[in-house]
Structure 1
Amino acid sequence: MSRLRQPRTLPAVACLVAVIGLGIAVLPAAAADKVVVVRQGDTLSEIALEQGVTVAQLVSLNGIKNPGLIYVGQNLRVQASPPPPAPAPLVHVVASGENLTVIAHHYGTSIATIVSANGLVNPSFLRVGQRLTIPGVASTAPGSPGGAGLPASMAAAVASRANVGSLLVAEANAAGVDPAFVMAVAWQESGWRQEAVSSAGAIGVMQLMPATGEWVAGGILGEAANVHDLRWNIHAGVRLLRHYLDRYHGDRSLALAAYYQGERATDIHGIYAISRSYIASILALQAIFGR
């Protein structure tokens, strides 16, 4: 039978009031527990249903010896629901040529945070295939397919480099490439930082090797190379992406593989296993930048 009642929740400290007899052992209340007051006609099963717990939980939590005997005015502790589990942290698989600077910028965190979370003894040494936990970033964040949005720190970094973002969009439009795709590649490669230099010697926003820059300059652009110049670096990198997209008939995974592992290796071997996390990360970033 349904009944309208006055509010009956009490502070948890109310459970500390001594109750003598009636087969009830009073237990100290946990701070997170709430207390309900038994009213006329209540049963344990009804209270359990109302509070979203089981009769067994009420009996155990309150030390009730006879579940069929409760009385009006009796205080019953109701265990608070456990907090939802924390989201699984993101795990980044180190790809060839990556370093902590690039990885930290990619996820909008700091090198120190990654070092601390993973107990890295030598932050300058990462091995290909090493798994790094990225604290504060859910597994659906950038670097994981289906990411739901940018971490706040990454969003702030993107905003602070808006001039680079504008150049990327302009070059992408000029080359007929999806701007979100170009922005994703550049963020994965350098965090949109022209000053970024990889351990392998790749330079700038688009992380062009000097030899690659010379090849693009002579073979595609017909002009002198200058990988150290922000505008030229972006221009050449975007035109290189356009070249790969044309070569692989619009297949972005193959285009990214060529950008990462080289055109000849991609032509002969296809996508290396080691390149797949790099490709997946960029495609996830593309979905985010495209919103």
Structure 2
Amino acid sequence: MSPRGTTAATALLTPVVVAAVIVGGALTAPASAEHESLPGGRRVTDYTVRPGDTATELAVRFHAWTAELIAHNHLGPGAGLTVGERIEIPVVTAAVDDHRAERRTPAGAGQQAGHTEEVAYPSRQRVRRAIVRTSRLQGVDPQLALAVSWQEAGWRMHHVSSAGALGAMQVLPSTAEWMELYVGRDLAPRRLRDNVATGVTLLHVLAEGTVSRARQLGSYYQGLGAVRRHGLYDDTRDYVDNVLAIKHRLEAGQPPA
């Protein structure tokens, strides 16, 4: 993710874990959960794990934080899921409400025509194509940019973090303003083309400003200044490992999660 300004924001945006589904005997009881540990604004939804499910995908689908889903269900560092297992998903109600509201035309739009209009977000395939195209133009490894976007938002444009990071590349408006200096035009990060341009350009800039792939990715998540001052935090190292694991899966022709 683009640089975060506060420790609290970083704590909320702990890494997405690429979880493998462990096929085994069905469990009838839900995983042990700690309702007291959840912050406000969460609605717990019961779910039975299906083949192909991962913690990442479920969090994206249900508008939940992956780290909260993993911690709430005590899935452990591997975040392994078992087909038939019953888990509880702590849905972020504000994200659901925002998603529903943003899919409709703002107040006043279309009134002259006497109707309102649904606004559809771009599909994952469209997001993927935009990332690959922009990465090639910028000289950035497309698989790396795709891995970052999957880690951040599952190739979805509707995600808005509690820190204000936007879209498929989870970039802050201030980061878009910074990247305008490199692309030579205005960037509106709520638009797919500009969101991708911001994130991919940032990856390019960080590659030139760091000495390793780990620090490049760590700076995307933790912030370049923080990495230079403090090195990689533990959660940042987890983030880097997850992104590289996703990249390797993509390079092998496998799904990202």
Distance 1:267 1:172 in 2: 25
Partner of 2:228: 267
1:178 aligns with 2:141: yes
* Counterpart secondary structure, 2:11: coil
CA contact (8 A) 1:213 1:227 kept: yes
Report which of the two structures shows the higher radius of gyration computed on alpha carbons. 1
Q: Which residue of 1 aligns with 2:165?
A: 202
Backbone CA RMSD of aligned residues: 3.0
Change (3 A) 1:234 1:259: same
Correspondence 1:216-235 to 2 at 5 A: 216-217=179-180, 219-235=181-197
| Letter of the 2:143 counterpart | A
Letter in 2 for 1:245: A
Confirm or deny: 8 A CA contact 2:143 2:247 kept in the other structure.
yes
Residue 215 of structure 1 aligns with an amino acid whose one-letter code is W
Distance 1:276 1:118, change over 3 A: farther
Deviations 1:255-279 (A, max 9, x none): 1111111111112222122211111
TM-score (norm 2): 0.56
Count of residue correspondences: 164
Question: Distance in 2 between the 1:239 and 1:290 partners?
Answer: 21
- Please, which runs of 5 or more residues in structure 1 have no aligned partner? 1-94, 110-115, 139-159
Identity %: 32
Could you give the per-residue CA deviations for residues 110-164 of structure 1, whole angstroms, max 9, x where no partner exists? xxxxxx535142374967x9585135379xxxxxxxxxxxxxxxxxxxxx62111
**Is 1:166 aligned to 2:129, yes or no?**
yes
For residue 189 of structure 1, report the CA deviation from its aligned partner. Answer: 0.4
Q: Provide the residue aligned with 1:280 in structure 2.
A: 241
Give the structure-1-normalised TM-score.
Answer: 0.50
**Runs of 4 or more above 2 Å deviation:** 95-99, 106-109, 122-127, 129-132, 134-138
1:290 aligns with 2:218: no
Mapped to 1, the partners of 2:198 and 2:205 lie a distance apart of: 10
Q: Provide the residue aligned with 1:188 in structure 2.
A: 151
Q: Name 1:83's counterpart in structure 2.
A: none
Question: Deviation of residue 205 (structure 1)?
Answer: 0.4
1:244 and 2:171 are equivalent in the alignment: no
Unaligned runs of 5+ in 2: 1-9, 22-29, 43-64, 84-122, 253-257
Residue 257 of structure 1 is matched in structure 2 by 218
